[in-house]
Amino acid sequence: MSHSPLTVGVGAALVDLLLEEKDVFLQDLGAEKGGMTLVESALIEKALQQTSSEIKMVPGGSACNTLVGIGNLGGRARMIGRVGQDTLADHFRSGLKAAKVEDGLLVSSDSETGRVLSVVTPDAQRTMFTYLGASSGISPADLRDSDFEGAALVHLEGYLLFNRPVVDRVLELARKHHVRIALDMGSFQVVQICRELIDELFAKRLIDILLANEDEAKAYTGLGDSDSLEVFADKVDIAVVKIGKDGALVARGSERFDVDAHLVEAIDTTGAGDLWASGFLYGLNHGLSLENSANLGCKVGSEVVQVMGAVIPGAGWDRVHAYRSTL
């Protein structure tokens, strides 16, 4: 077994269904571009029937994407979540296995495996329609004391905030084992709906590392990127505001870094923030400086936006590893 620091991720085990479509496709579905909407499986099936584009299927879910990235970087990662007993579950597990992510804590359910329809428009923006399925059944009973033993970091996806009992159990076990908590805000809708819980977590200083993109930051603070960073820096030990092609802003104590992105031709932003988190959290766990951890995050993020979906091909990981060796 690897002695690499362990990151435990808790979140929705989902399979991404990726489509390339024009803006009018989203308009017909009545969706707000760039957001995430919880739907029934029937809407996803309807959309799949209406599209003429090729459907690409990859393992997904925010926490899963980040863990797969950490695994491909050579780190040790463990996924906690729920899947069904169907072919989508098999596909999800095979995706984790390929990245050497521990999947033994995935609980099987009688419900269908959850899925996300991710519609990518010509400007590389993605709009998500999520059917949670089995993933929504995750409960405090699925989280065991031993799951967190020896962990260096617990990574929570923002969407988990809709399941307060599970969040409370994760925080309880993390505190018991003195494990740092990283929270990715997930989407601006999560911030808007779960604002009261986020405020509570901040007030109790239960979050150590906060990851937000510019839309999520603005949804919480109502301010610009730099001012939002200062708000977050007062509430957590390490704060990040990801600003897409402009890179990221990072704060810890009195340290401030404005890290440039690696500019590439983006074709799909699916998983960009999740894979940015992979590089950043891996760096923090493996002795990189705060600034270089953010630089690694930017490099990993730049690779995933060059492909459809959140799965970086081998050549991309080769470039990431070569870059990491220079840090």
Q: Indicate if the alpha-carbon torsion angle 106, 107, 108, 111 is positive or negative.
A: negative
Which amino acid makes up residue 66?
Answer: T
Q: Is there a contact between 82 and 149 (Cβ–Cβ < 8 Å)? A: no
Amino acid at 33: K
Rounded distance, CA 10 to CA 212, Å?
A: 17
- How far apart CA 71 and CA 260 sit, in angstroms, is 24
Sheet holding 255-259, edge to edge: 102-108, 76-83, 6-10, 151-157, 180-184, 209-213, 238-242, 248-252, 255-259
Q: What does the pLDDT look like over 49-59, one tens digit per residue?
A: 888 888 888 88
Percent composition of the chain: helix, strand, coil (DSSP 3-state, to 5): 45, 25, 30
- What pTM, to 2 d.p., does this model score? 0.90
Per-residue pLDDT, 3: 66
Tens-digit pLDDT profile for the chain (327 aa)? 446 899 999 999 999 888 889 888 888 887 778 877 889 988 898 889 888 888 888 888 899 999 999 999 999 999 999 999 999 999 899 989 999 999 877 889 899 999 999 888 888 888 889 899 999 999 999 999 999 989 999 999 999 999 999 999 999 999 999 999 999 999 898 999 999 999 999 999 999 999 999 999 999 999 999 999 999 999 999 999 999 989 999 999 999 999 999 989 988 888 899 999 999 999 999 999 999 999 999 999 999 999 987 889 999 999 999 999 999
How far is Cα 186 from Cα 89, in angstroms, rounded to an integer?
Answer: 23
Structure tokens given for 231: 């708000």
C-alpha span between 175 and 193 (Å, rounded): 26
pLDDT at 269: 81
Residue 296 pLDDT: 98
Q: Which fold has domain 6-12+62-111+139-324?
A: UDP-N-acetylmuramoyl-L-alanine:D-glutamate ligase (3.40.1190)
Model pLDDT for residues 311-320, shown as the tens digit of each residue = 899 999 999 9
